[in-house]
Amino acid sequence: MDNILTHVENSILTITINRPDKLNALSTATIQELHDALQGATSNNNIRAIVITGSGDKAFIAGADIAEFSNFTAPQGETLSRNGHKILFDFVENFNKPVIAAINGFALGGGLELALCCHIRIASDNAKMGFPELNLGVIPGYGGTQRLAQLVGKGKAMELILTTDMVNAEEAFQLKLVNIVTTKENLLTKAYEIATKIISKSPRAIATAIKAINANYKDGVNGFEVEIKEFGNCFDTADFKEGVGAFLEKRKPNFTGE
């Protein structure tokens, strides 16, 4: 992996985008490496949660790599977007383990779009977020026009995308764009604290909850129906039997994710 660093500790995989001299811009190679690292984590039982962050003290990710697409034609642009949706952005949103964005600086364009796909966003107090695409004559192409509105509402999404104004961490918190703001020094500690809390629950139920919550945002899918079906499916799982058994026996559950 040339563009990312990975590290597993306490069942948490930390992925650090490692192009600090380019403010961790998302090149196609970086997107592919992120996909590969996540793909490897899907079936690895030693990994129960993922934290994504950026290297250096300036940026989480300053967007898609502008130099790379500067000469693209329309079909190439469409392919770039479609492939990115498939292998990274939709992939993260629908991931079967919790993915937390630890936003340690600029999260712009594709960087903010990646944070929007994550299940939880934690920002350091120096973070700045926004969609500068309209300054370049393009629009957000990795889901930003859809997912920003889902989190902050259509009116604010229009304002942020059309003006390209950046918001700081506190403003992002007020907008519900990020879940938590903390200091730069405490960012990863906070991310690990949340990840650790989540992974004490049933892995099977975590994956199912992510699926059911996401169902509300999928065209042609009835989220309530997904919830009803998935709720029912839980009753046939080993995790359900273990969770209920542990409660009745007044002990801590030992979930296997089955």
x-or-dash pattern for ligand COA, window 25-44, by CB under 6 A? x-------------------
Nearer of residues 65 and 239 to ligand COA, judged by Cβ: 65
> Which of 113, 170, 185, 258 does the annotation list as catalytic?
113
Nearer of residues 67 and 228 to ligand COA, judged by Cβ: 67
Q: How are beta strands 12-17 and 4-9 bridged, if at all?
A: antiparallel
**147 backbone dihedrals φ, ψ, rounded to 5°:** -75, -30
Stretch that binds ligand COA, among 21-29, 41-49, 174-182, 227-235 (CB under 6 A): 21-29
Query: Residue 31 class from Cβ within 10 Å (0-12 exposed, 13-18 middle, 19+ buried)?
Result: buried
- The structure tokens 């058994």 sit at 245
- The structure tokens 């811009």 sit at 25
Q: Is 78 a catalytic residue?
A: no
CB of 114 to ligand COA, least distance (A): 12
Q: How are beta strands 120-124 and 99-103 bridged, if at all?
A: parallel
Stretch that binds ligand COA, among 30-38, 59-67, 76-84, 238-246 (CB under 6 A): 59-67
Nearer of residues 77 and 245 to ligand COA, judged by Cβ: 77
Taking the CA atoms of 66, 71, 73 and 76 in sequence, report the sign of the dihedral they define. negative
Among positions 13, 15, 23, 122, the unique one binding ligand COA when judged by CB under 6 A: 23
Nearer of residues 41 and 87 to ligand COA, judged by Cβ: 87
Based on the shown chain and the rule CB under 6 A, indicate whether residue 66 belongs to the binding site for ligand COA.
yes
Q: How far apart are CA 112 and CA 217, in angstroms?
A: 19
Q: Give the side-chain half-sphere CA count within 13 A for 219.
A: 1
- The structure tokens 């992002």 sit at 172
Based on the shown chain and the rule CB under 6 A, indicate whether residue 114 belongs to the binding site for ligand COA.
no
Based on the shown chain and the rule CB under 6 A, indicate whether residue 105 belongs to the binding site for ligand COA.
no
Position with the least CB separation from ligand COA: 63
Specify the DSSP class assigned to residue 54. E
Q: How are beta strands 99-103 and 59-61 bridged, if at all?
A: unpaired
Q: Are 208 and 152 in contact (CB under 8 A)?
A: no
x-or-dash pattern for ligand COA, window 117-156, by CB under 6 A? ---------------xx--x--------------------
The residues carrying an active-site annotation are 113, 133
Contacts to ligand COA by CB under 6 A: 22-23, 25, 62-67, 106, 108-109, 132-133, 136
